[in-house]
């Protein structure tokens, strides 16, 4: 098995945050910070760290600023709106405090004493995650958040996840031969994904191993800035390429474990798989965003899996 690209980028260090922002965090904590444990998983170029105070309190902090990626503060502002409105019983770390000062945004969450799933995937952990996704989608139906706090899935598919249509218009170098041969058909099929994705479930839309923590009692899902309202089966479809890439089940074997998939129209599933494949294929061919030098390789590897999956479902050779 080919070793997948690592699911981490380049994190901003705690000491790189302006002193007055760090002082605001310490003031809210009410006790001096005596230990900072940087967390390297995930692709955000902001600070991600567990803080421990002199009075032995532990919290998890995320901080985004104007460098290296000036778009990060707005992503964190969106996450604040979503995380602060999630139900208290959702398997999501509780948002405790936020601080928004000019170009710097701080989020502090409960610290979860858990671990990310093993890589490559092991069956016991994958089973737990899938079962938790089923429970999560049921508990978030109907969605406790509505537009404009979160968009609906039709909008996400039509605007943000339209890679084949962009590729058809841009015709960039480096597009693989299968995609180039079927590009017009792929763009047409992708255009039906928005209608296919309609539903009343709150969707995470970025479920991956590096966006979850496992404890003995629970699977916790973190990082919700991309959430939307749509069909209950969308999350496991977006999750599937990363699972296969990281040594787990094939996409079809994985999604077969989710009852919402079994109840869905297969044509709707194929349309959303097409959109997922187009998203990863298009993004992988773009220059890396500022501060995220490793994300394109990770997207490219998922794109390979997603295209093979789509070719299997469409029988396009």
- What is the mean pLDDT for each group of 10 consecutive residues in the chain (317 residues)? 77 95 98 94 90 98 94 96 94 97 95 96 98 95 95 95 95 93 97 98 97 97 97 98 98 98 98 98 95 93 98 98
One domain, residues 175 and 87: no
Our count of domains for the chain comes to 2
**Does residue 6 fall inside a structural domain?**
no
Q: Examine the fold and report which residue of 46, 81, 110 is the final residue of a domain before the chain moves on.
A: 110
255 inside domain: yes
Regarding whether 219 and 298 lie in a shared domain, the answer is yes
CB crowding 244-261: b at 16 or more within 10 Å, else e: bbbbbbebeebbebbebb
String of b and e for 98-108 (b: at least 16 CB within 10 Å)? bbeeeebbbbb
Question: Has residue 228 been placed in a domain?
Answer: yes
Kindly state whether residue 5 falls inside one of the protein's structural domains: no
Are 229 and 253 members of one domain?
yes
- Whether residue 242 sits in one domain with residue 206: yes
* In a domain? residue 262: yes
Tally of CA atoms within 13 A in the half-sphere of 315 that contains its CB: 0
The answer on 305 and 175 residing in a single domain is yes
**Co-location of 269 and 197 in the same domain:** yes
Q: Residue 63 maps to which CATH number? A: 3.30.200.20
Question: Which of 79, 110, 141 finishes a domain?
Answer: 110
DSSP conformation letters of 59-125: EEEEEE-SSS-TTHHHHHHHHHHHHTTS-TTSSSPPEEEEEEETTEEEEEEEPP--BPPPSS--HHH
Same domain, 279 and 238: yes
- Tens of pLDDT, residue by residue over 197-228, are 999 999 999 999 999 999 999 999 999 999 99
Tell me whether residue 268 is in a domain: yes
Domain carrying residue 67: 14-110
Let me know if residue 157 belongs to a domain. Answer: yes
Answer yes or no: do 221 and 266 share one domain: yes
Same domain, 96 and 135: no
Exposed/middle/buried for 15, CB within 10 Å: 0-12, 13-18, 19+?
exposed
pLDDT at site 1: 54
Q: Which residues of 86-96 are buried (b: 16+ CB within 10 A; e: fewer)?
A: beeebbbbebe
What secondary structure letter does DSSP report for 36? Answer: E
Domain holding 163: CATH number? 3.90.1200.10
Sheet strands (E) in 142-251: 201-203, 212-214, 219-221, 228-230
- Considering the domain architecture, whether residues 158 and 279 belong to the same structural domain is answered as yes
* CA distance between the termini of the chain: 24
Query: Is residue 61 domain-resident?
Result: yes
Which residues, 6+ apart, have CB-to-CB distance to 46 below 8 Å? 11, 12, 62, 63, 64, 65, 69, 72, 76
């Amino acid at each position: 098995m080919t070793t997948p690209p690592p699911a981490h980028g380049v994190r901003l260090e705690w000491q790189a945050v302006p002193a007055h922002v760090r002082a605001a965090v310490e003031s809210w904590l009410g006790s001096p910070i005596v230990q900072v444990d940087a967390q390297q998983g995930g692709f955000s170029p902001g600070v991600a760290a567990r803080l421990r105070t002199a009075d032995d309190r532990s919290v998890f902090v995320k901080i985004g600023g104007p460098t290296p990626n000036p778009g990060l503060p707005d992503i964190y502002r969106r996450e604040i709106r979503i995380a602060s409105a999630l139900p208290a019983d959702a398997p999501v770390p509780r948002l405790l405090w936020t601080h928004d000062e000019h170009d710097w945004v701080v989020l502090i969450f409960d610290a979860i004493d858990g671990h990310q799933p093993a890589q490559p995937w092991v069956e016991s952990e994958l089973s737990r995650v899938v079962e938790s996704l089923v429970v999560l989608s049921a508990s978030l139906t109907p969605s406790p958040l509505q537009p404009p706090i979160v968009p609906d899935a039709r909008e996400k598919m039509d605007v943000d996840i339209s890679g084949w249509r962009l590729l058809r218009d841009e015709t960039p170098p480096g597009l693989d031969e299968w995609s180039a041969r079927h590009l017009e058909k792929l763009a047409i099929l992708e255009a039906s994904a928005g209608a296919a994705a309609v539903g009343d479930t709150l969707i995470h839309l970025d479920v991956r191993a590096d966006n979850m923590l496992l404890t003995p009692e629970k699977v916790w899902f973190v990082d919700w800035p991309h959430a939307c309202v749509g069909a209950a089966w969308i999350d496991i479809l977006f999750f599937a390429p990363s699972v296969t890439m990281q040594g787990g089940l094939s996409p079809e074997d994985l999604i077969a474990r989710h009852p919402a998939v079994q109840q869905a129209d297969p044509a709707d599933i194929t349309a959303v798989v097409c959109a997922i494949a187009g998203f990863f294929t298009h993004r992988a061919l773009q220059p890396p965003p500022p501060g995220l030098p490793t994300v394109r390789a990770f997207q490219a590897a998922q794109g390979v899996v997603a295209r093979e999956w789509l070719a299997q479902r469409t029988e396009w050779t």
